[in-house]
Amino acid sequence: MKHAYLIMAHNEPYILERLLKLIDDERNDIYVHIDKKWKDFNFEYFRKIVNKSELIFTKRLDVRWASYTQIECEMVLFEEASKKKYKYYHLISGVDMPLVSQNVMHDFFDNSNKEFVCFDRHDAILDGALERVKFYHFFVPWARSNSKIKRLFFNKFHFWSIKIQKKLKVNRVKKYNLDFRKGANWVSITDEFVRYVLSKKNEFKKIFKYSYCADELFIQTLLYNSEFYKNVVSLKNDDYVSIKRFIDWNRGQPYTFRLDDYDLIMNSGCFFARKFSSKLDKDIIDKIYTKVAGKNDKS
């Protein structure tokens, strides 16, 4: 069975091109969501650089930070890919880089039936995460709007709205009787679980529609409250290594890697690293690309 790579991209054509070339393999299909705000994206150029995989561009959304559109984008990718059946669905961003060859990827995942999903385990984090869904978060798409008026309105309105809801003891998700959990939204999950997620689409839209940064709760909450939870790969706290992602939250939100981080990244035991910026440091991107491309050529 093939693997499906699901990519959420909103900028950085330099990184996206190298990412696509490194995962271009007969054993993969690649699904890419290009944010509507990326006006000058060259679809024809990118179609030409993928030769072995089938490359599918999904319908486009205007994805806004912290808003429900993040979850909508993930669902668009899952729905499009689920038209076929895959061994694994790898959700990554357009500023990720693979760290291993496709032989290593397939040898590892083809012999697994685990759900590679990371859970945060700290009570303080979980309490804060619940506030993301228990209150109504209106106008979240304006949080990082280009309009100063919209940003100002959001900041003022959002603060007072949450304060009032706390006094009124609002809890709009209490009736669902769910244990909410939080973690990274970047996952590698099985076909069976993807279809379970899609079967809950309408139900969970009601829950997360007026949420805040719920893309970090969506998959975790679905998984934790289902029979699939027994298949989670690791129950360690914040274990990104167990889900084969190298993400540094200690130095940034997350940290953007530089050339000095090369050895740290490549010795991490992970299959993906996030995040990179061609404007900040192209050399680290090129060095990883050369290394992994060489491994692919040897396979």
> Per-residue pLDDT averaged across 257-278, rounded?
97
User: ω into residue 254 within 30 of 0, thus cis?
Assistant: yes
Provide the number of structural domains found in the chain: 2
188 and 171, same structural domain? no
Residues present in the chain in total: 299
Return the sign of the alpha-carbon dihedral for residues 157, 163, 168, 174: positive
112 and 135, same structural domain? no
pLDDT tens profile 195-229: 999 999 999 999 999 999 999 999 999 999 999 99
Contact between residue 106 and residue 27 where contact means Cβ atoms under 8 Å apart: yes
pLDDT in the model for residue 297: 79
Confidence of residue 89 (pLDDT cuts 50, 70, 90): very high
pLDDT in the model for residue 238: 59
Say whether pLDDT at 165 is over 60. yes
Range of the domain at 149: 123-176
Closest to 200 in 3D by CA, of 224, 233, 216, 182 = 224
133 and 252, same structural domain? no
Say whether pLDDT at 299 is over 60. no
115 and 151, same structural domain? no
90 and 209, same structural domain? yes
Average pLDDT, the chain: 94
117 and 127, same structural domain? no
pLDDT tens profile 231-240: 998 766 657 8
pLDDT in the model for residue 155: 87
pLDDT tens profile 124-139: 556 678 899 999 998 8
Which pTM does this prediction carry? 0.95
SS (H, E, C) the chain: CCEEEEEEECCCHHHHHHHHHHHCCCCEEEEEEECCCCCCCCHHHHHHHCCCCEEEECCCCCCCCCCCHHHHHHHHHHHHHCCCCCCEEEEEECCEEECCCHHHHHHHHCCCCCEECCCCCCHHHHHHHHHHHHCCCCCHHHCCCCCHHHHHHHHHHHHHHHHHHHHCCCCCCHHHCCCCCCCCCCCEEEHHHHHHHHHCHHHHHHHHCCCCCHHHCHHHHHHHCCHHHHHECCCCCCCCHHHCEEECCCCCCCCCCCHHHHHHHHCCCCCEEECCCCCCCHHHHHHHHHHHHHHHHHC
> Per-residue pLDDT averaged across 149-173, rounded?
93
Rounded Cα distance between 270 and 92, Å, is 13
102 and 22, same structural domain? yes
106 and 24, same structural domain? yes
35-49, 74-88, 175-189: least confident range = 175-189
90 and 52, same structural domain? yes
266 and 193, same structural domain? yes
167 and 94, same structural domain? no
Confidence of residue 192 (pLDDT cuts 50, 70, 90): very high
- How many alpha carbons lie under 13 Å from residue 47 in its C-beta half-sphere? 6
Tell me the residue type at 235: L
pLDDT in the model for residue 193: 98
pLDDT tens profile 34-79: 999 999 999 999 999 999 999 999 999 999 999 999 999 999 999 9
Confidence of residue 95 (pLDDT cuts 50, 70, 90): very high
> Per-residue pLDDT averaged across 182-199, rounded?
96
Rounded Cα distance between 154 and 145, Å, is 9
CATH code, domain carrying 290: 3.90.550
188 and 53, same structural domain? yes
